[in-house]
Structure 1
Amino acid sequence: MDFPVTRIKGGVGAPRGFQCSAISCGIKNPAVERLDLALIYSESPCTSAGTFTINRVKAAPVKLSQAHLRKGDLRAIVANSGNANACTGVQGVNDAKLMCKAVAKPLGLTRSEVGVCSTGVIGLPLPMTRIEPRFDELVEKLGSGQGTDVAKAIITSDTHHKEIAISFDLGGHRVRIGGCVKGAGMISPSMATMLCFITTDANVTRDNLRKAVLEGVDDSFNRITIDGDMSTNDTVLVLANGRSGMPSFRRGSALCKQFRKALNWVMLELAKAIVRDGERVTKFVTVQVSGARTYLDAKLVAEAVCKSALVKSSWNGGDPNWGRVLHAVGYSRARIREELVDICYDGKPACLGGLQGPTPMDELREIAAQREFQIDINLNQGDAEYCMYSSDLSPEYVDFNRSEYAYWKQARKDGLV
Structure 2
Amino acid sequence: MISVEVINNKTITDVPYFKASGIHIGLRKKEKKDLCVIYSEKKAVAAGVFTKNKVKAAPVIVDMNHIGSRNTQAIVVNSGYANSCTGSKGIEDAYEMARVTADCLGLKPEEVLVASTGRIGVSLPMDKVIPGIRCGCSELSYSGGKDAEEAILTTDTFTKSIFVELNIDNRKVYIGGIAKGSGMVHPNMGTILGFIASNINITKEMLTKALKDSVTDSYNMISVDGDTSTNDMAIVLANCTAGNNLIDQENSQYYKFKEALDFVNKELSKMIAKDGEGATKLIEISLKGARSKEDARICAKSVISSSLVKSAFFGSDANWGRIMCSLGYSGADFTPQKVDIVFKNNSGAIMVVNKGAAAIFNKQLVEEILKQDYVNILIDLNDGIHDAVAWGCDLTYDYVKINGYYWT
TM-score interval w.r.t. the shorter chain?
Answer: over 0.9
Quickly say closer, same or farther: Cα 1:107–1:4, change in 2 above 3 A.
closer
Check conservation: 2:180, 2:194, Cα contact below 8 A.
yes
Moved over 6 A (4+): none
- Following superposition, the deviation at residue 4 of structure 1 comes to 4.3
Aligned residues of 2:182 and 2:272 also touching (Cα < 8 A): yes
User: Could you tell me the TM-score, scaled by structure 2's length?
Assistant: 0.96
Q: Partners of 1:4 and 1:330 in 2: how far apart?
A: 38
CA distance in 1, matches of 2:85, 2:130: 20
Hey, what's the Cα distance between the residues in 1 that align with 2:362 and 2:393?
24
8 Å Cα contact 1:10/1:146 also seen in 2? no
Identity %: 38
Aligned to 2:183: 185
Match for residue 20 of structure 1?
20
Deviates more, 1:151-160 or 1:370-379: 370-379
**1:67 alignment partner in structure 2:** 65
Supply the distance in 2 between the matched residues of 1:63 and 1:103 (Cα, whole angstroms). 17
Return the match for 1:79 from 77, 80, 85. Answer: 77
Q: Distance in 1 between matches of 2:269 and 2:284?
A: 12
**Residue 312 of structure 2 corresponds to which residue in structure 1?**
314
Instruction: Report the Cα offset of residue 6 of structure 1.
Output: 4.0
C-alpha separation in 2, matches of 1:62 and 1:260: 25
The whole-number CA distance in structure 2 between the counterparts of 1:404 and 1:331 is 32
CA contact (8 A) 1:42 1:241 kept: yes
Check whether the contact 1:319–1:369 (CA below 8 A) recurs between aligned residues: no
Partner of 2:390: helix, strand, or coil? strand
Q: Deviations over 1:330-375 (max 9, x none)?
A: 1111223322211111142101112111222222121111111111
Alignment-derived partner of residue 226 in structure 1 = 224
Q: Taking structure 1 as the reference length, what is the TM-score of the superposition? A: 0.94
Structure 1 window deviating more from structure 2 (310-319 vs 72-81): it is: 72-81
Q: Distance in 1 between matches of 2:130 and 2:245?
A: 40
Native 8 Å contact 2:57 2:82 kept in 1: yes
1:235 corresponding residue in structure 2:
233
- Answer yes or no: is 1:9 the counterpart of 2:18: no
* Residue correspondences, number: 404
Gaps of 5+ in 2: none
Counterpart CA distance in 2 for 1:324 and 1:251 is 45
Could you tell me which amino acid in structure 2 is paired with residue 48 of structure 1? A
Cα distance per residue 1:173-204 (max 9 Å; x no partner) = 11111110000001101122210100001111
Aligned residue among 99, 104, 108 for 2:102: 104
Aligned mates of 2:290, 2:266 — CA distance in 1: 23
1:44 maps to amino acid: K
1:168 shift after superposition: 2.0
Please say if residues 290 and 383 of structure 2, whose CA atoms lie closer than 8 Å, have aligned partners that are also in contact. Answer: yes
1:250, distance to aligned residue in structure 2 (A):
4.0
RMSD, matched Cα? 1.3
Larger CA deviation: 80-89 vs 321-330: 321-330
What code does the residue aligned with 1:384 have?
H
Moved more, 73-82 or 161-170: 161-170
State the match for 2:387 in structure 1.
Answer: 385
1:354 to 334, 337, 356: 356
Range moving further from structure 2, 57-66 or 290-299? 290-299
Q: Tell me if the contact between 1:40 and 1:78 (Cα under 8 Å) persists in the aligned partners.
A: yes
Displacement after TM superposition at 1:305 (Å): 1.0
The residue identity in structure 1 corresponding to 2:71 is D
Q: Distance in 1 between matches of 2:173 and 2:231?
A: 30
**Partner of 1:70: helix, strand, or coil?**
coil
Give 1:385 deviation, angstroms: 1.6
SS in structure 1 at match of 2:37: strand
Q: Is 1:345 the equivalent of 2:319? A: no
- Match for residue 53 of structure 2? 55
How far apart in 2 are the matches of 1:373 and 1:133?
Answer: 46
Q: Displacement, 1:172? A: 0.8
Is the 2:24–2:32 Cα contact (8 Å) retained in structure 1?
A: yes
Q: Please state whether the residue corresponding to 2:68 is helix, strand or coil.
A: helix
Number of the residue aligned with 1:258: 256
| Cα deviation code 1:251-299 (max 9, x no counterpart) | 2222111111111111111111101111110111111222222222222
Equivalent residue number for residue 413 of structure 1: none
State the one-letter code of the partner of 2:406.
E
Partner of 1:176: 174
Q: Given residue 351 of structure 2, which amino acid in structure 1 is its aligned partner?
A: P
Give unmatched runs, 5+ long, in structure 1. Answer: 407-417
